[in-house]
Structure 1
Amino acid sequence: MLIPLYIRKLLIIRKMAIIGKIREKSGLLVTMVGLGLFLFIIPVNDLLQQFSGGANSTLGMFNNSEIDANDWKYYNRENLTRNNLRINNLNSGGNGSLTSADEDQIKVTSWNQMISDTIYHYELNKLGIKVSADELNQGLLNGENPLPSSLKELFVKNGLYNKDSFNIWKTNRIINLPDNPESKKDLKNNIEDPLKNERRISKYSSMIKNGILGTIQESKRAANEEKITSNIKYIFISYDDINDTLINLDENEKKNFYDQHSNEKIWDQKQDLVSYDYSILTFKPSSSDINNYTSRMESLKEDFKSSKNDSLFVANYAETPMTVQSPYGPRSSGNFTGQPYKGGKFSSFIDEKIKNGKKKDIIGPFVNGDKIQLVKIYETGDEEQAKVRHILINSKEGDLDDAKNKKLADSILYAIRRDSSKFRSLVSKYSDDPGSISNGGVYAWFPKGQMVPEFEEFSFTKKIGKSGVVRTNYGFHIIQVLGRKVGSFKKIAIVDETIQVSKTTQNEYYDSVALAFYYKADSTNFNNAADELGFEVKSSGYVPLIYPNRRSSGLYGPADLNRNMNISRWAFNSNVGDLLEPEYISNNQLVLAVLKEKIIADEISFNNLGSLMEPMVKNYLKANYYKNKFSSKIAQIKSIDSISILLNMDVVNKLVKYSDANIGNNTQELAEPKVMAYIFNLSANEISPIIEGKKGIYIIQNISLNNNAIVDESSIIQKAEIQQKEMRSQIEQGYYPALYNSYNVRDDRAKNMIMSN
């Protein structure tokens, strides 16, 4: 039997009420001051630690000392961040629950803030940076024009500081503060101390940034480097285009490369890494599963048909909620919108049944994708509908091109009025509305209330055949009215439920397919077994033993593995070659995997780094292959065009500067210092030998070199100022990561979680 959604909601409400009681008894204090200034404080929840790694309270290392979770009050920070997010969720119309992405962010934020606070505590005290009482009261809290701070930013809108709003807040929050110890403590902890600390960090950052000076001598050097240029012809062969079969990659070659390069900083690996190949096995509900869900939905038909409150019925029995969260706030899911149904949500067969149905008709149950659904026609009627075609020219009032866009729209309108047969071609050429370009700009038979007001007013009031330009928030619309009619509409309500694979079906698939794959992979080879059974093999790439963050899914690996912790534990606790037994990652998906690589942090042995070095060893061998095969021939040839015939590669012409990082000076590509050094050490018309670059091999001919740089002395001071600004910007962005590394910070939280289970 389906559990009504209102019962599930009651359980959530009850849970939140219990949390509310806990907060009430713990003396929860909420003070909103933004960006870390306004926080609410609750007591430490020691239970959290019991669910986050057991008895091991060591979280990592800081300045060569262990970070003890209790001493550093780490779980206080997690709990505080978690409850702040819950409050924000509730204030945004949610139910206070957090997503897995939220939980990831809690861990990342808590750790980063804890380390940041500690680093700055040491640095600020070491230098004796302080904030005086006058600086606080007459500067940061000065209502006329306070010093820059995150508090001030709360009262800045469109670049303008609102003095009145700030002073109202100051009066309510500080001046009229009750004269008692609790209020004074609140003021100090939640306003004064955070403001002072933020100001101290700002001073520290300014000291570092403004200590960088751009010198005249450095500017002259940089200006000279930009003036020194070379016209070159070159041939480039990417390592990716050189077939692996041309080289012999054996252990001796790897060992030789390791002996020469193991001391390079590139191999300084700070995190454990694993790499595995995996296959996802997806299976469908059986006919028996579908029949069971169909029967369950069938039992609701009569109640749905006789329901007096269809929106409440949908809210109680539909799996899909009536509203879902989106980046733009709550929006309708489509199960009960109050709007006429326009078709396209179901198959053409079901859409036809809805079109021909009557009020209170129930259609279904039927399977739609992975759901079983019932549809009720709860309202029918007639409505005025319009059919138009349009061309949209995107534009915003106040934009520099706004007048130009209006002129373009008027020109298109003039062309259409002279010859309306050109409308479709003009749509293709000019329209910025991707949703209507394919059908000539037509919007067919829409009712009132569906379009923005200006568009709707023209469509429903102008004569058929009339054309004109209308401005909306989207820009300028060149509209032509094609027709109007009175049409019928149907409003529908949908009850749905996802068809889950039953335990019986799961077991049958596991035993007959998944285990067959596993045993074949175990006795032969994972990739061969997958190929024989018709399963795709994917590579995880390198998976780091860290918590997920904005840049990486961390220890969970590829997103399609659905954050399965069992896979992570297997990967980091197994040996290369070990197989993962079939593991469920969803109701109807199993994954099997084989561990391909395992690299241990801070371990510089050949056995540990050999596989990580392998791509570079291949590139090294490919370069050597070309050197051994072609170097002597190339040395005898005087024209790079002839060399291009020998290698069957194109010649490219390029002007390069001495200051360029690579040919083309593409900052998104790897720097090629060896290649650039060769270019500016070649004589006129001299051809280089084969150069081993980072992306491939190069052969370069220097056609001409200009090294008679004449620097405009009057521009040097301005250039020095520009360089100083750029360097200070780089320092401002990069000094904290350097500080982080200097304190030898190591985060072992993910490792403890993986290894202790």
Structure 2
Amino acid sequence: MALIGKIREKSWLLIAVVGIAMLAFIIGDFNFGGNGPQEDVYGIGTVDGEKVDEQQYNLFLNNARNNIMQNKQQQNPTQQVRFTEEDDKNAVRQAWQTSIIDGLMRKEYKQIGLVVDEYELENILYGSNGYKPSSISTQFTDSITGEFAPDQLRQALDQLRESPEAGSAKQYKDLMDYVAQVRVEEKYNALLTAGVHTTTLEGKHEYNAKKTVKNVSYVYQSFTKVPNDAVAEPTDEEVKKYFDAHKKDKKYNQKASRKIAYFVLPVNPSKEDSMASFDRLQKLKPKFAAAKNDSSFVLRFSDIKRYANDSTSMAKPEGNGQQGPTYPASVASEIENANVGDVVGPYVGQNGAKISKVLGFGEEKTATVRHILLNAGSPEEFEAAQTKADSIMKVIRSKNNFEEMVTEFSEDPGSVNNGGKYEKFPKGQMVPEFNDFSFYKPIGTMGTVKTTYGIHIVEVMEREATKRPILADIIKNIEATKSTADQVNSEASNYIYDLDDKFEGKSNKARDSIFDAYAVGKGYTVRFSTIQDEEPTVTGFNELAEGRILRLAYDEGNKAGTISSSPIRDNNRIIVAFISDVIEAGTPRLETVEDAMRAELRKEKQANYLIDQMLGKENDLQALANEMGAKLESEGLTFSASNVAVGREPQIIGTAFSGLVDGETSVPVKGSNGVFVLRVDQTTSAPETTDYSAEIEQIKSQNKTTVENQFRTALIESANVIDNRKLRRHGIR
């Protein structure tokens, strides 16, 4: 019986049984939900028309939850850990992916006749006849040698199988299933990778791709540098022609989906709602003033439990972008001139209705500077920005025209409209280099500062110690009452009636335009949510609102142009929604890809413009760079490189290795994001060798890893998977 206990002692290995085994095997290349016992056509989902086993899914879900919780406990052995909502979302994702791949893999095993028979299982358990013992088996070791002890395992398994205790037989079967499952997975992986081979020619190509270096010079100009008025916008006729030529391109292939358009009416508290909170605070005000223990009073009566009586609780006027306690301009004078112990309010602050007790005052050191930012990213850009900054400072010192230079040169949108000034900001708010210059250089100093943003020309204008009140706040949330929510709901209902009338007899495209114009006319912004048919879900809404939106999208009879029959309540907002489009799988309609194709056409026109600008000027790259306002880039490239100095532009690498000889220059070439002219300056050939074994092994290893990591994704992508959990939960399908 002691040996049975040993097996049970190791039961953490069996928690998942096949489930944990499948999770370990299956989740490999996936990133990390629904109930409902009723039987229906889809169940919780289907794979190639067959329903997903709901009982097995629930088992995987339970195992995933246990596994996540166990991992958290192991990582934090001295703390009490919680199973969070995010943990449950991860468990649900894992369980669903596991259910799908489990079914697909079982089909694979069956199709190729892959099994683990009793003879093989026996050898795997006990490590006999050349088989390596399973991970479960190796838990049983000799106390002296530490080696695997098959006799101990055999005795333990015999006792477990023959034990009259409830659950022992099932535990034995689960254990055997687990060992067999791991073995069949190992065999499948071995079959997959057995077909991975690498030839000597492949090794040679890889060797030359890494060792041959092309030293090149090129002028590159991004499409974004083309002036807006230099190329005409693509016409509808051009877009239609492009669509006819490219609609079957893979990148435009559509997944079946529903596009929901909606606008949001916020349910904001009314004046009457605010007064209710004010009344409660007004009654608390004299008690707060008389309170001897302010922290206890705050913790008892405030909806936001926050108290501190040191510098961390110094409050600042609203609108300065600072974190921590704030107060609005409406009470600024009263608070700043109050005596210690005074209670100010009620007033409406950022977190709700407040009364504030003045506990004391502190001083906060602040600085005021003005600056000019010259953006830079690469070392070359920083060098150029520094040179430019030095020139600008000479002009400022001679002409005293800092603000004029801000307008002309500064690339900081946050300060360019106020002369480059940042006023009364506290120590630590800015990046360290900017902060140190502002607080430690003498007032009147002007100099340059290098930060991650670029080069700054900074002038220190003023420093002072600003008096800040230290406040204890009693905060009451201002919430909209049912009456207020009903008023907003009634307004949204009227919008729906109006839109329904306007939609009468109109096409889907016309309804789109009507909905957009109506929402904008009422002061709202139209938003969109695309729901994939294979995995219907809507993010950013509460459970009830999501159900209403999914019902709008999938209720029988609803089609493109259908508007919600009534407003949709989502916490403190009310939604008016309609089905903007129903997209079928496969070749797209023009309207679904028009914007993307128009962008591609615009890029082609920009490319042609740049090619025309560069054509015939290839002989002098430096002159071309000067004319285009671009930089002459020089670097050494290998064919195996993935990036170049200007970013990811594989066409630059391809052109360098396209057959150009040393000293030869290309014509202007269109890249992914710009146009370039390239010259090969010098080619350094790979050293001669006949040994490509390292490259052969590298390619083989990479290909094996790719196969092992991606075959599950390939199986799922080749299957027709429908996730019906959400629609089922909301009673839609």
TM bucket by the smaller chain? 0.5 to 0.7
Distance 1:149 1:616 in 2: 57
> Which among 26, 49, 55 is matched to residue 36 of structure 2?
49
How much does 1:179 deviate? 0.8
Distance 1:589 1:373 in 2: 24
Please tell me whether the aligned partners of residues 318 and 495 of structure 1 are also in contact (alpha carbons under 8 angstroms): yes
Q: Does 634-643 or 568-577 show the bigger shift?
A: 568-577
> Which among 693, 708, 723 is matched to residue 732 of structure 1?
708
Please tell me whether the aligned partners of residues 303 and 477 of structure 2 are also in contact (alpha carbons under 8 angstroms): yes
Please tell me whether the aligned partners of residues 247 and 622 of structure 1 are also in contact (alpha carbons under 8 angstroms): no
Give the structure-2-normalised TM-score: 0.58
Distance 1:148 1:540 in 2: 50
| Secondary structure in 2 matching 1:266 | helix
What residue number does 1:681 align with? 659
What residue number does 1:128 align with? 114
Find out whether 1:265 has 2:243 as its counterpart.
no
| Secondary structure in 1 matching 2:537 | helix
AA of the residue aligned to 1:672: P
Find out whether 1:702 has 2:662 as its counterpart.
no
Find out whether 1:137 has 2:125 as its counterpart.
yes
Change (3 A) 1:95 1:61: closer
Find out whether 1:619 has 2:600 as its counterpart.
yes
Find out whether 1:504 has 2:483 as its counterpart.
yes
What residue number does 2:268 align with? 284
Change (3 A) 1:33 1:436: farther
Distance 1:438 1:164 in 2: 68
Task: Give RMSD over aligned pairs.
Answer: 6.1
How much does 1:117 deviate? 1.7
Find out whether 1:566 has 2:548 as its counterpart.
yes
Distance 1:755 1:631 in 2: 61
| Secondary structure in 2 matching 1:49 | coil
> Which among 313, 318, 324 is matched to residue 343 of structure 1?
313
AA of the residue aligned to 1:120: M
How much does 1:112 deviate? 1.3
What residue number does 1:36 align with? 16
Change (3 A) 1:673 1:531: same
What residue number does 1:588 align with? 572
| Secondary structure in 2 matching 1:706 | strand
Please tell me whether the aligned partners of residues 353 and 363 of structure 1 are also in contact (alpha carbons under 8 angstroms): no
Distance 2:568 2:149 in 1: 55
Structure 2, gaps ≥5 residues long:
1-9, 21-33, 74-78, 315-323, 360-426, 441-469, 504-512
How much does 1:741 deviate? 3.1
How much does 1:114 deviate? 1.4
AA of the residue aligned to 1:269: Q
Change (3 A) 1:355 1:94: farther
Change (3 A) 1:59 1:250: farther
Change (3 A) 1:630 1:214: closer
Distance 1:678 1:150 in 2: 57
What residue number does 1:199 align with? 183
Please tell me whether the aligned partners of residues 289 and 499 of structure 1 are also in contact (alpha carbons under 8 angstroms): yes
Cα deviation digits, residues 15-70 of structure 1 (max 9, x gap): xxxxxxxxxxxxxxx96546723989xxxxxx94268xx844355543x4x1225x
Please tell me whether the aligned partners of residues 33 and 191 of structure 1 are also in contact (alpha carbons under 8 angstroms): no
> Which among 50, 74, 77 is matched to residue 67 of structure 1?
50
Distance 1:711 1:273 in 2: 59
| Secondary structure in 1 matching 2:50 | strand
Question: Percent identity between the aligned chains?
Answer: 16
Cα deviation digits, residues 423-471 of structure 1 (max 9, x gap): xxxx99xx99x9999999xxxxxxxxxxxxxxxxxxxxxxxxxxxxxxx
How much does 1:643 deviate? 4.2
Change (3 A) 1:149 1:173: closer
How much does 1:223 deviate? 0.9
Change (3 A) 1:752 1:292: same
Aligned residues: 568
Distance 1:355 1:164 in 2: 79
What residue number does 1:184 align with? 168
Change (3 A) 1:284 1:621: closer
Change (3 A) 1:565 1:575: same
Please tell me whether the aligned partners of residues 239 and 597 of structure 2 are also in contact (alpha carbons under 8 angstroms): no
> Which among 727, 735, 741 is matched to residue 717 of structure 2?
741
Distance 2:438 2:155 in 1: 58
Residues 304-383 of structure 1 mapped to structure 2, 5 A cutoff: 343=313, 369-371=350-352
How much does 1:700 deviate? 2.0
Distance 1:734 1:511 in 2: 52
Distance 2:301 2:148 in 1: 47
Find out whether 1:556 has 2:552 as its counterpart.
no
Change (3 A) 1:212 1:164: closer
What residue number does 2:420 align with? none
What residue number does 1:656 align with? 637
| Secondary structure in 2 matching 1:555 | coil
Distance 2:221 2:566 in 1: 43
How much does 1:748 deviate? 5.0
How much does 1:123 deviate? 3.0
Distance 2:217 2:496 in 1: 54
Residues 206-221 of structure 1 mapped to structure 2, 5 A cutoff: 206-209=190-193, 211-221=195-205
AA of the residue aligned to 2:181: N
| Secondary structure in 2 matching 1:698 | strand
Distance 1:647 1:504 in 2: 64
Please tell me whether the aligned partners of residues 209 and 731 of structure 1 are also in contact (alpha carbons under 8 angstroms): yes
How much does 1:216 deviate? 3.3
Residues 535-550 of structure 1 mapped to structure 2, 5 A cutoff: 535=524, 537=525, 540=528, 544-545=532-533, 547=535
Distance 2:280 2:228 in 1: 58
| Secondary structure in 2 matching 1:701 | strand
Please tell me whether the aligned partners of residues 243 and 597 of structure 2 are also in contact (alpha carbons under 8 angstroms): no
Change (3 A) 1:128 1:626: closer
AA of the residue aligned to 1:204: Y
Change (3 A) 1:746 1:560: closer
Distance 1:39 1:304 in 2: 58
Distance 2:471 2:158 in 1: 57
How much does 1:502 deviate? 1.0
